[in-house]
């Protein structure tokens, strides 16, 4: 009896371990910034030092262009308010905007980039919320969101010179199976020199594909997360 019990317990342990691995790989991409931080993204420069922002900051200053963000948090590169907890501790108030080195209000002043972790393209399309300036990739001072594969920009989008974000979409059907990254670009300090961005998804004919399914494709039998990706769940 004991000889039979041991293999059964071993199989049960393996099964439970696989469940844990699947659970971890199902939670590896902060696609909508609802962690309240930049987990799963790597920044350069200073534009993202006070990101993500919390709430409808443009409306808080009577801008007349509501952010139309998803959830509580989003990337608003003109904004400098990080919510009722962290923001309050830092002396920030709803409606606050970015500052220049002299401490004057300068919403377009900071510059930088924000690059996501790598993920597999499994959908036919990618959709996301986008606002801010119309400064395309390939121009002198781009403010945009790029899809990058092997360091090559394969898709790009900008806002429409409006703080209000709208849903935009890329056709990525020809890129299936490739590893990609999303890069948010702010390389302008001029007028409308900032992007707004939130809530990116892959989709097929049935709708948005859960990121759990995307990361499960990446795992392919091995743990596909790092401590940096896990820390938001295991602090």
Can you give the residue ranges of every domain in the chain? 2-230
Residue whose tokens read 């199902």: 26
The pLDDT tens digits of the residues spanning 156-204 come to 999 999 999 999 999 999 999 999 999 999 999 999 999 999 999 999 9
Give 27 or 48, the one with higher predicted confidence. 48
pTM of the model: 0.82
Distances (CA, A) of 173 to 10, 113, 137, 148: 42, 26, 22, 15
């Amino acid at each position: 009896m004991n000889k039979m019990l041991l293999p059964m317990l071993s199989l049960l342990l393996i099964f439970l371990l696989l469940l844990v691995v699947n659970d971890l790989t199902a939670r590896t991409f902060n696609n909508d910034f609802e962690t309240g931080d930049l987990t799963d993204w790597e920044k350069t420069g200073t534009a993202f030092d006070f990101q993500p922002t919390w709430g409808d900051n443009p409306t808080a200053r009577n801008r007349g262009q509501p952010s139309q963000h998803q959830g509580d948090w989003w990337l608003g590169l003109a904004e400098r308010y990080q919510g009722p907890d962290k923001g309050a501790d830092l002396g920030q108030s709803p409606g606050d905007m970015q500052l220049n080195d002299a401490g004057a209000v300068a919403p377009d002043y900071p510059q930088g980039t924000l690059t996501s972790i790598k993920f597999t393209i499994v959908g036919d399309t990618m959709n996301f919320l986008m606002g801010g300036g119309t400064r395309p990739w390939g121009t002198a001072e781009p403010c945009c969101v790029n899809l990058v594969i092997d360091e090559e920009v394969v898709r790009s989008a900008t806002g429409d010179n409006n703080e209000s974000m709208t849903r935009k979409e890329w056709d990525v059907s020809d890129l299936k199976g490739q590893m990609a990254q999303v890069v948010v670009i702010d390389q302008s300090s001029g007028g409308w020199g900032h992007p707004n961005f939130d809530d990116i998804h892959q989709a097929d004919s049935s709708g948005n594909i859960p990121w759990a399914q995307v990361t499960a494709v990446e795992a392919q039998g091995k743990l596909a997360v790092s401590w940096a990706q896990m820390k938001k769940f295991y602090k």
